[in-house]
Amino acid sequence: MHSTVDDLGIVLQMFLNGGVYDGKRILGRATVEAMISDQNKPLRQPWGLGWGLQTSSAWNAFGDLSSNRTFGHSGASGTVAWADPQRELLCVVLTTRPWGQDRGFLLRRISNVVQAAIK
């Protein structure tokens, strides 16, 4: 998928708003909750419907300071987009630094800086 920081921010904000954006319901609240809750319990690798979860040990660049409710996506081309419902905070970083180059180290550090900047 190709997108912009602004559009990804809108999608994440819609999830933080329980499926509503700009006063319009886009997704039902139950759909949002299902998408950001662990749907992969038998395999013990927490994953929502389309979203990675903070508590997963796989493919996660949401940083060390986000809450366990954080969900998002880290991409192989050097991207991370996450939202933390507990803190009502979101972050979108789009780079061209491949994941394999540092296994998400730079994205995790940026995520930590964003989290640390908010009280």
Write the CATH number for 51.
Answer: 3.40.710.10
Measured distance CA(40)–CA(38) in Å, rounded? 6
At 99, the pLDDT band (50, 70, 90 cuts) reads: confident
| Residue 1 banded pLDDT, cuts 50, 70, 90 | low
Band (pLDDT 50/70/90 cuts) for residue 69 is very high
- Give the domain range for residue 102: 5-117
Which pLDDT band, with edges at 50, 70 and 90, does 16 fall under?
very high
Backbone angles phi, psi at 71, to 5 degrees: -135, 160
Report the distance separating Cα 50 and Cα 97, nearest Å. Answer: 22
| Mean local confidence (pLDDT), 23-31 | 98
Mean pLDDT for the stretch of residues 71-96: 92
| Residue 94 burial (CB count, 10 A) | 15
pLDDT, mean of residues 22-41: 96
Confirm if 26 and 19 have CB atoms less than 8 A apart. yes
Number of domains in the chain: 1
Q: Is the pLDDT assigned to residue 71 strictly greater than 90?
A: yes
Residue 59's pLDDT band, with cuts at 50, 70 and 90, is: low
Residues sharing a CB contact under 8 Å with residue 41, sequence separation 6 or more, in sequence order: none
Average pLDDT value for residue range 89-101: 90
